[in-house]
Amino acid sequence: MLKTKVRYLSLLILFSFQAGAQTSALSVADSLFALGNYASAINAYAKVGDKKSNLHIARAYNAIGNYDKSIAQYTSILERNPNFDLARFELGKLLLKTKNFKPAMEMFNVLVSSEEKNPEYFYYLGRTYEAVNQTGNANKAFKNAVEMDSTHLRSLYALGKYYVGQEIKDSALVYIDKGLQFYENDVAMINLKALAFYNNGQFQLAIPHFERLLELGEEKPFVYEKLAYCYFRNWEPEKALDTYHKLTSFPDKLAVAYAGLGDVYFKEKELDSAQFYIEKSIEERMALFPREYASLGRIARLKGQTKKSMDYYVKAWEENKENYYNYYQVCVLADEYYKDPKTRLNYYEKLLEMYPDLVPWLEERVKNRITEIKEEIHFVGN
């Protein structure tokens, strides 16, 4: 009896010692992990070898960017513990991150069918569907997340962003406003609301939301650009000019800012200022600029500079020969500038030759003018 008690006591002491040693080893590994010493942490966790340690090994590999080993470790854990939802969820997110979309979808589909109703599972399932352009399934998943948690901001944002992109303003605002009720200063949601109105041509309604973004410190070029355009379209010229001037502080937006200033001054009939800024826009722009040349053409014409106006419209047409209207303007200006009727006739005939499918009203106008010039030539000839 005494021997039995001694043996039991010895086993208890041994077990306590082993448990204590394991606890100590786990504490060391946890400390290494917390400090970001992942390589040493992996070795320490490997000595412990339980489920929790194996999970931390997978996380450590993920943290150092060794995604293949991390995925292999997570997979090994799930093979031994198929109901370990936390490991499955982390693996799903890693698979999504590494663009392994099909296996990621498998992970999240298992999770959403489990008894635990977690909106995060549906959100990441939606993200995965989004990545493979299955928009309908993605939105269904996001809506499931919102049904479970009406304050799930990322799902609300995903739905709002989708409907803003589709320019379905009313549907977008349903989800955006829900998000703003939960967090009124969320800049991503405020930006979506501004864009919902902006894309719908409701510039006056978009203005306060772009202004709010600036108040919250979002002094980014796209905010200034869109706000300036809203002021311009809402006809608040002083605010538009001020905002476009602020946009000039961003070097890659100089061309846009100068073009905007040119548009405002042009509408204000300050032609010299309009010409100055449009010319500066052309100097800054690295790509094609038919719109700016056409604007300069209009300005030159209003200033009575017919030949200069014609030259600008020629440049506009040369940059984009699909725009027949710019060449029509060349014809009209040539008609005003040249005295020789045959020269003027040549421009109009070339227009019909290059663009046989002109819109009916313009084709009729051109043909009528050709007839008039031919009659003029006939009269002079006689």
Grade residue 319 by pLDDT with cuts at 50, 70 and 90: confident
Instruction: Locate 122 and state its tokens.
Output: 């549906």
Q: pLDDT per residue over 211-242, tens digit each? A: 999 999 999 999 999 999 999 999 999 999 99
Residue 345, pLDDT score: 95
The alpha carbon dihedral of 243, 244, 245, 249 has a sign of: positive
Q: Is the Cβ–Cβ distance between 161 and 151 less than 8 Å?
A: no
Q: What is the largest CA-CA distance in the chain?
A: 144
Cβ-Cβ contacts under 8 Å for 237 (sequence gap 6 or more):
231, 264, 267, 268
Above 90 in pLDDT, residue 117?
A: no
Residue 150 and residue 101: Cα distance in Å, rounded? Answer: 27
Per-residue pLDDT of 187-201, as tens digits, reads: 999 999 999 999 999
Q: Which amino acid belongs to residue 96?
A: L
Count Cβ atoms below 10 Å from residue 114 Cβ, excluding itself: 12
Q: How confident is the model at residue 109 (pLDDT cuts 50, 70, 90)?
A: very high
| Per-residue pLDDT tens over the stretch 285-308 | 754 567 778 888 899 999 999 999
- Is pLDDT at 49 greater than 80 in this prediction? no
CA–CA separation, 136 and 86 (whole Å):
27
| pLDDT of 1 | 53
Cα–Cα distance between 256 and 284 in angstroms, integer?
9
Residue 74 has pLDDT above 60, yes or no: yes
Residue 382, pLDDT above cutoff 60: no
pLDDT of residue 6: 45
Model confidence pLDDT, tens digit, residues 326-367 = 999 999 999 999 999 999 999 999 999 999 988 888 899 999
% pLDDT > 70, the chain: 92
**Would you say how long the chain is, in residues?**
382
Q: Write b or e for each residue in 27-58: b if 16 or more Cβ atoms lie within 10 A of its Cβ, otherwise e.
A: ebbbebbeeeebeebbebbeebeeeebbbbbb
Look at residue 22 in the predicted model and tell me its pLDDT: 55
Task: Please state the three-class secondary structure of the chain as a single string.
Answer: CHHHHHHHHHHHHHHHHHHHHHHHHHHHHHHHHHCCCHHHHHHHHHHHCCHHHHHHHHHHHHHCCCHHHHHHHHHHHHHHCCCCHHHHHHHHHHHHHCCCHHHHHHHHHHHHCCCCCCHHHHHHHHHHHHHCCCHHHHHHHHHHHHHHCCCCHHHHHHHHHHHHHCCCHHHHHHHHHHHHHHCCCCHHHHHHHHHHHHHCCCHHHHHHHHHHHHHCCCCCHHHHHHHHHHHHHCCCHHHHHHHHHHHCCCHHHHHHHHHHHHHHHHHCCCHHHHHHHHHHHHHHCCCCCHHHHHHHHHHHHHCCCHHHHHHHHHHHHHHCCCCHHHHHHHHHHHHHHCCCHHHHHHHHHHHHHHCCCCCHHHHHHHHHHHHHHHHHHHHHHC
pLDDT reported for residue 11: 44
Going from the C-alpha of 141 to that of each of 63, 119, 152, 175, 203, the distances in angstroms are 28, 9, 12, 14, 32
pLDDT value at position 112? 96
**For residue 248, is pLDDT > 60?**
yes
Hey, how many other C-beta atoms are within 10 angstroms of the C-beta on 134? 16
Does the structure show a pLDDT above 90 at 30? no
- pLDDT for residue 380: 61
User: Residue 30's closest CA among 40, 21, 20?
Assistant: 40
State the average pLDDT over residues 133-154. 96
- The pLDDT value given to residue 381: 57
Quick one: CA torsion of 189, 194, 200, 204, rounded to 10 degrees? Answer: 150
Q: What is the CA radius of gyration of the chain?
A: 35
Quickly count: other Cβ atoms within 10 Å of residue 92's Cβ. Answer: 26
- pLDDT given at position 2: 45
Per-residue pLDDT at 20 exceeds 50: no
Question: Average pLDDT, whole number, for the chain?
Answer: 90
Predicted confidence at residue 199, as pLDDT, reads 93
Cα 154 to its chain centre, rounded Å, is 16
